[in-house]
């Protein structure tokens, strides 16, 4: 396994060298998992250790159910090697424990430093962190460590008030922000309303919410951010389990994973690899992970690989925006769609303050209730029902709630906004 002392992006290697590097690391992973992971020691069986990269499709996939049901058996190190423990929501309702060794944390630092570097950040940047590090939020720790690894300066202000962030922007003039885009959009509005100059910010690395549509154009939320900070907005994708992130490069047209940290596939329902451009489940094999390595882990997130090479010169896969979660797919009277189909409409209405969706129903058809808080006006005067129907051809029940109720619901259970509540 390599050491993570430098911030080297191996994606710029010639394609043949990238292929050989991933194949070598995949073979090491299989040997390691057979020897140290109780789960994969059972499931890999007589899998050859000299597997070619193209034959990864012959390996069994790992589901979120597998991780939940056999959680302890995925840990591949003794207890005295574990340096950090976080939890992610399991499909059974029981949180899954995700473990990291000291070296895994170094790998995370390297991962995020490579991503920040791809987004144009340098050691000269001062980065305002608007995401928390506490409450077992491994991503917040990774972002902070990535900034430090890059050599930049971090301001760990976390999920603080708008006044607090605005004061830091006035006094310190940070050049970059990391955080949830809906929060940063409200920060932009706050700065504009109070006459505070935020033009010092040149890079905004957004987490937890999609900024681009299936056609790779900006979502309404992305457009709000772009209006405040033209050319500064970069999208990312990651999860606690895969310990790897996909960050947009300066082309801002799809996220690149570090090629030495992950092998990425897009799979159909049956687990077959799909060609670039086809929509399926993002599936990740983690390379160079010690604590809890995963082979062909089906993330539950629906996305696609962009088919053409990136003009930036990297020879790595480019992941398009996450279109939704497999578990959040809605079936409404013969129509299949994801919650984002409603959320993008609401993001495009300036008077909307916040919102969340609850879904109930049986296996034949789902029932959707949308709860919306407004800055001004009413649901009727803003014709919200009509705008939702025009885009989706579905009548959803819509309820107006107070800003306080929406805020408590959306931010009451997680470090990131939770807008989808499945009551099926």
Per-residue pLDDT tens over the stretch 263-287: 999 999 999 999 999 999 999 999 9
Closest CA to 284 of 258, 309, 251, 321: 258
Most confident option among 137-141, 309-313, 409-413: 309-313
Query: Whats the size of the chain, residue-wise?
Result: 424
pLDDT digits (tens, 9 = 90+) for 179-221: 999 999 999 999 999 999 999 999 999 998 889 999 999 999 9
Whole-prediction pTM value? Answer: 0.85
**pLDDT beyond 70 at 312:** yes
Structure tokens at 334: 């013969």
Please state whether beta strands 262-267 and 82-88 pair in parallel, antiparallel, or not at all (unpaired): unpaired
Highest mean pLDDT among 14-28, 81-95, 335-349: 14-28
Cα dist from 89 to 47, 132, 138, 370, 417, whole Å: 30, 18, 13, 23, 15
Distance CA 335, CA 314 (A): 38
Give me the half-sphere count of Cα atoms (radius 13 Å) on the Cβ side of residue 269. Answer: 2
d(CA 203, CA 174): 10
> Got the DSSP string for 354-418?
EEEEEEEE-SS-EEEEEEEEESSS-TTTTTHHHHHHHHHS---EEEE--HHHHHHHHHSS-SS--
How deeply is 275 buried, as exposed, middle or buried, from its count of CB atoms within 10 A (0-12, 13-18, 19+)? exposed
> What is the DSSP secondary-structure string of 4-51?
--S---GGGS-HHHHHHHHHHHHHHHHHHHHHH-HHHHHHSTT--TT-
Which of the four pLDDT bands, split at 50, 70 and 90, describes residue 424? confident
Domain boundaries, given as residue ranges, for the chain: 1-322, 329-422
Using pLDDT thresholds of 50, 70 and 90, give the confidence band for residue 336: confident
Cβ contact 356:421 at 8 Å: yes
Degrees to nearest 5, angle at CA 6 with 282 and 295: 25
Residue-level pLDDT at 392: 87
Find the helix or strand (DSSP H, E) in which 298 lies.
strand 297-303
Pair 344, 220: CB distance under 8 Å: yes
Sheet with strand 420-422: strands edge to edge: 397-400, 366-374, 352-361, 420-422
Structure token pair of residue 92: 């059974």
Token duo for residue 301:
């997130």
Q: For the chain, what percent of residues have pLDDT higher than 70?
A: 97
Question: Would you state the pLDDT for residue 92?
Answer: 45
Q: Which pLDDT score is estimated for 292?
A: 98
- Tell me what percent of the chain is helix, strand and coil, each rounded to the nearest 5: 35, 25, 40
Mean pLDDT score across all residues of the chain: 93
Predicted pLDDT at 416:
74
Under the banding of pLDDT at 50, 70 and 90, the label for residue 28 is: very high
How do residues 82-106 score in pLDDT, each as one tens digit? 999 998 865 445 678 999 999 999 9
Q: The domain at 329-422 falls in which architecture?
A: 2-Layer Sandwich (3.30)
Residue pLDDT, tens place only, 127-179: 999 998 887 788 899 999 999 999 999 999 998 999 999 999 999 999 999 99
**CB within 8 Å of 7: residues ≥ 6 apart:** 110, 113, 114, 117, 149, 150
Calculate the alpha carbon distances from 368 to 40, 342, 359, 378 in Å: 40, 10, 5, 20
Instruction: Encode pLDDT of 250-267 as tens digits.
Output: 999 999 999 999 999 999
Cβ-Cβ contacts under 8 Å for 54 (sequence gap 6 or more): none
What pLDDT does 166 receive? 98
Tokens at residue 413, please? 């259970």
As a whole number of angstroms, the distance between CA 235 and CA 247 comes to 6
- For residues 363 and 55, give the distance between their C-alpha atoms in angstroms, rounded to a whole number: 36
- For residue 219, CA distances in Å to 61, 321, 330, 347 come to 32, 10, 20, 8
Q: What pLDDT shows up at residue 94?
A: 67
Task: Say how far apart CA 45 and CA 77 lie, in whole Å.
Answer: 20
pLDDT at 365: 81
Which class is 1-322 in CATH? alpha beta
Paired with 330 in beta bridges are 337
Distance between CA atoms of 329 and 105, rounded to whole angstroms?
33
Q: What is the average per-residue pLDDT within 101-129?
A: 97
């Amino acid at each position: 396994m390599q050491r993570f002392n430098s911030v080297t992006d191996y994606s710029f290697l010639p394609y043949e060298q990238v292929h050989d590097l991933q194949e070598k690391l995949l073979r090491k992973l299989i040997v390691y998992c057979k020897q140290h992971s109780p789960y994969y020691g059972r499931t890999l069986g007589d899998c050859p250790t000299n597997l070619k990269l193209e034959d990864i499709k012959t390996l069994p996939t790992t589901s979120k159910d597998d991780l939940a049901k056999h959680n302890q058996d995925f840990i591949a190190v003794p207890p005295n090697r574990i340096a950090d423990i976080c939890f992610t929501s399991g499909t059974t309702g029981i949180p899954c424990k995700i473990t990291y060794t000291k070296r895994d944390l170094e790998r995370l630092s390297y991962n995020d430093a490579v991503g920040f570097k791809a987004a144009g950040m340098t050691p000269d940047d001062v980065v305002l962190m608007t995401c928390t590090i506490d409450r077992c939020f491994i991503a917040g720790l990774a972002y902070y460590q990535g900034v430090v690894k890059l050599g930049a300066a971090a301001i760990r202000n976390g999920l603080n008030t708008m006044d607090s962030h605005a004061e830091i922007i006035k006094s310190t003039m940070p050049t970059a922000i990391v955080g949830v885009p809906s929060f940063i959009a409200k920060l932009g509005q706050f700065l504009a309303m109070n006459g505070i100059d935020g033009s010092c910010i040149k890079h905004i690395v957004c987490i937890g919410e999609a900024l681009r549509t299936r056609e790779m154009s900006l979502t309404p939320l992305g457009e709000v951010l772009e209006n405040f900070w033209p050319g500064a907005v970069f999208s990312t994708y990651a999860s606690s389990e895969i310990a790897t992130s996909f960050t947009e490069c300066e082309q801002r047209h799809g996220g690149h994973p570090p090629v030495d940290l992950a092998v990425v596939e897009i799979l159909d329902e049956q687990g077959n690899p799909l060609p670039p451009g086809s929509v399926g489940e993002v599936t990740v094999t983690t390379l160079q992970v010690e604590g809890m390595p995963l082979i062909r882990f089906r993330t539950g997130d629906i996305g696609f690989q962009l088919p053409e090479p990136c003009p930036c010169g990297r020879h790595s896969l480019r992941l398009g925006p996450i279109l939704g979660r497999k578990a959040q797919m809605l079936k409404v009277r013969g129509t299949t769609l994801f919650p984002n189909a409603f959320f993008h409409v609401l993001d495009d209405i300036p008077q909307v303050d916040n919102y969340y969706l609850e879904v109930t129903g049986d296996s034949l058809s789902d029932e959707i209730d949308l709860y919306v808080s407004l800055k001004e006006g009413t649901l009727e005067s803003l014709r919200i029902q009509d705008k939702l129907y025009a885009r989706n051809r579905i009548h959803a029940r819509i309820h107006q709630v107070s800003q306080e109720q929406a805020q408590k619901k959306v931010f009451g259970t997680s470090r990131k906004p939770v807008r989808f509540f499945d009551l099926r």
